[in-house]
Amino acid sequence: MLRFVARPRNCGVVAVRSEDKRGTELTRPERLGILGGTFDPVHLGHLIIAEELKFRLDLDHVLFLPSRRPPHKTMQEISPNADRMTMLELAIAGNPHFGISTVDMHREGLSFTSDSLAIIRDEHPETDLFFLMGQDSLRDLPRWHEPNLIAERAHLGVALRPGVEVDVEAILRAVPAARGNLQMIPVPLIQISSREIRRRVYHGEPITYQVPHAVEAHIRKVGLYVPQ
């Protein structure tokens, strides 16, 4: 089993070692998926994407990378970091293949993906990194901060999403480092979004079976997303 431990230097979560079922250390590089997001809240769609891409891309583990200050949501109110971290911990509890990276949570400034991957790459020089995203994020990739560096620092694993159209060739022209480094993966069609969950809680509508039970319990306990 691979263990996740925190390094005091940047408080990120790092992989230590991986073994196969016979206890023999694997000879291929560790394949580590990175799934970024605000996770406000984390929901079953996030977990399904993480599990499906882990399987389809033959990843050893997936790290959820919660953003402290997402650059595309500077005008949006975001739940406290502690609550978002707690919900993530509750959501992935019991899955030995999932972990959380606090790289973004413990540094100032906007949470640019290219910077986060540079830190994780520095911590894992022998690891194959895979940055996981939805098809809608791929569509917006050319407008991200330093998109070529993102594609240089990690393979791109993209979950296909219903109703989203992307001109992949246009993306590759705008982000040439992604050419030959991009895999599009079909996933079960789950139309759940954090925005819709926040809206439903605000209006007193049910969210049961859209988020893990423990996450719903935390939302209710601390009163997230309700009118103030």
> Measured between alpha carbons, how far is 136 from 9 in angstroms, rounded to an integer?
34
- Domain containing 114 equals 4-16+25-222
Establish if 45 belongs to a structural domain. Answer: yes
In the β-sheet with 31-37, what is the strand arrangement from edge to edge? 98-100, 61-66, 31-37, 128-134, 155-159, 182-185
Establish if 47 belongs to a structural domain. Answer: yes
Establish if 199 belongs to a structural domain. Answer: yes
Number of domains comprising the chain? 1
- Cis peptide before 41, with omega less than 30 degrees from 0? yes
pLDDT at 74: 66
β-partners of residue 133 are 158
CATH number of the structural domain spanning residue 159: 3.40.50.620
Establish if 81 belongs to a structural domain. Answer: yes
Establish if 150 belongs to a structural domain. Answer: yes
What DSSP string runs through 43-112?
Answer: -HHHHHHHHHHHHHTT-SEEEEEE-SS-GGGTTS----HHHHHHHHHHHHTT-TTEEE--TTTTS-S---
> Measured between alpha carbons, how far is 174 from 146 in angstroms, rounded to an integer?
11
Give the global pTM. 0.86
Establish if 228 belongs to a structural domain. Answer: no
Establish if 111 belongs to a structural domain. Answer: yes
What is the three-class DSSP state of 186?
coil
Question: Any idea of the CA torsion for 87, 89, 94, 96, to the nearest 10 degrees?
Answer: 140
| Residue-level pLDDT, tens digit, the chain, 228 residues | 233 433 323 334 433 333 444 444 547 889 999 999 999 999 999 999 999 999 999 999 999 999 998 887 766 889 999 999 999 999 999 999 999 999 999 888 889 999 999 999 998 888 999 999 999 999 999 999 999 999 999 999 999 977 788 999 999 999 999 999 999 999 987 889 999 999 999 999 999 999 999 999 999 999 999 998
- For the chain, state the CA radius of gyration: 17
Establish if 227 belongs to a structural domain. Answer: no
Task: Tell me how many helices (H) and strands (E) the chain has.
Answer: 8, 8
> Measured between alpha carbons, how far is 124 from 25 in angstroms, rounded to an integer?
17
Residue type, 57: L
> Measured between alpha carbons, how far is 102 from 76 in angstroms, rounded to an integer?
21
